[in-house]
Amino acid sequence: MLTLYQVAERLSLHYNTIYHYVRSGELKAIKFKRVYRVKEQELEKFIKGKSFKALK
């Protein structure tokens, strides 16, 4: 499972952008002890549904 910071780094996006995607429901995440975690599978689904200019 990835933190939102790790997801942001992978997608070359700001943390707040990833947080917005989670809060809006566009990116599924699990909240565990005040920290959001994203499953690799959910990140892959999210990436396939979006188009990004720069992916690492």
What pLDDT does residue 50 have?
78
Q: Tens digits of per-residue pLDDT, 12-38?
A: 999 999 999 999 999 999 999 999 999
Enumerate the domain spans of the chain: 2-49
Q: For the range 22-26, what are the long-range contacts, defined as Cβ-Cβ under 8 Å and sequence gap of 24 or more?
A: none
The pTM score is 0.84
Contact between 15 and 38 (Cβ < 8 Å): no
